[in-house]
Chains A and B, each alone.
Chain A
Amino acid sequence: MVRAGAVGTHLPTSSLDIFGDLRKMNKRQLYYQVLNFAMIVSSALMIWKGLIVLTGSESPIVVVLSGSMEPAFHRGDLLFLTNFREDPIRAGEIVVFKVEGRDIPIVHRVIKVHEKDNGDIKFLTKGDNNEIDDRGLYKEGQNWLEKKDVVGRARGFLPYVGMVTIIMNDYPKFKYALLAVMGAYVLLKRES
């Protein structure tokens, strides 16, 4: 009597059977695998959005990309930002700001501040490791930055950790490969 199951016994035990778990699943379990993947993505998303709400900054964790703030920050450092409206911006503080027309934020130090009675401010920034101030980086005709350009103020940092992000941005294939492997692992392996 030949049973369908007999075919399976011919497979060598060392072969990589990544679909083995999936084959034995019914409809509900397959849906659960997809749902598990979606839950992981959703959880990561919720944590990120939660940080955004908590810190008030649209990008609470940034990576330093250039050496313009050495010796304080080096390329590859991770920065934690907050952007509370009540916190005043004073000279000497390190802020991350966005210039209109550029999408990559810049992290430099505030060197001059003009403040009005009602709280409006204009400030000038310069990188610690730069010779000149940032007026060359601002928009054409703009000489000062305002509160609305600020992404956040640096509150803490982790050295070197951001190098992973830099590598993944420089080699996008590596990033996609890593994401694909992680996604496949979650989708194909059966959790309890």
Chain B
Amino acid sequence: MAATASQGGRSGGGGGSSGAGGGPSCGTSSSRSGLLDKGREVFISIPVISLAMKKCNQGWKIDDKPVKIDKWDGSAVKNSLDDSAKKVLLEKYKYVENFGLIDGRLTICTISCFFAIVALIWDYMHPFPESKPVLALCVISYPFFFNEKSIFLVAHRKDPTGMDPDDIWQLSSSLKRFDDKYTLKLTFISGRTKQQREAEFTKSIAKFFDHSGTLVMDAYEPEISRLHDSLATERKIK
């Protein structure tokens, strides 16, 4: 059944990255309305249309294999929630991930390890009392390289007209140790006005995982979309 629906929708534009051909065809279903005019085609197209409408009502679906983790492992829970939120933003809304922040963090940590190695080698070459100043320098500067912020996604949306700078979306989250309340914060920075707006929600992780530890996207994805839409629509009103 799914195969026939996607055949009908093929004219509406490419099936996107996900292969099952769901989301993008919803926006272009109007181009298939020409099929309804012919009597012969009405007979064939009713099941096609009803299926397409069902797909549209379902909206875009994440179609990877459902993620199953150990529900008692706090960091695995947070990681899977973060990953899914990232997936929603990148795949549903087609934003482009900006690796600048992450690359910056990786570089800083690498530099701090480098300092440690320098200290080690210097101390080996010039035994202790002479290496004191160099050691002191490395040890004191080492903690300054730590910078733990909770932002895990920076994505931007290319402006379709190509004129204005890109809007930036940032995701950050927190889940305290042994706590079940997960907070997800979405920040929108307009490229044009440089204004910043935030929306967040705090919910128990029990709302998103079933008893076996599988993340239920049907419960999680609407939350993300709600956050996103609340920020996006404000922009339109302004």
Q: Are A42 and B135 in contact (CB under 8 A)?
A: no
Q: Are B79 and A190 in contact (CB under 8 A)?
A: yes
B73 (CB) vs chain A CBs: closest residue: A189
B5 within 8 A of partner (CB): no
B143 (CB) vs chain A CBs: closest residue: A46
Q: Are B112 and A52 in contact (CB under 8 A)?
A: no
B91 within 8 A of partner (CB): no
Rounded to whole angstroms, the CA-CA distance of A58 and B82 in the bound complex is 45
Neighbouring A residues of B120 by C-beta, 8 Å? 45, 49
Query: Nearest Cβ distance between residue B181 and chain A, in whole angstroms?
Result: 15
A5 within 8 A of partner (CB): yes
Interface string of B91-104 (1 = CB under 8 A from A): 00000000100110
CB < 8 Å neighbour of B135 from A3, A9, A28, A49: A49
Neighbouring B residues of A31 by C-beta, 8 Å? 106
B109 (CB) vs chain A CBs: closest residue: A35
Query: Nearest Cβ distance between residue B115 and chain A, in whole angstroms?
Result: 8
Given A5-B64, A39-B112: A46 and B78 within 8 A (CB)? Answer: no
A8 (CB) vs chain B CBs: closest residue: B65
Q: Are B139 and A190 in contact (CB under 8 A)?
A: no
Neighbouring A residues of B117 by C-beta, 8 Å? 42
Knowing that A32-B106, A35-B113, A39-B109 are A-B contacts, what are 11 other residue pairs whose CB atoms are under 8 Å apart, sorted by A's residue number?
A9-B65, A13-B68, A42-B116, A49-B119, A49-B123, A49-B138, A53-B132, A53-B139, A190-B75, A190-B79, A192-B79
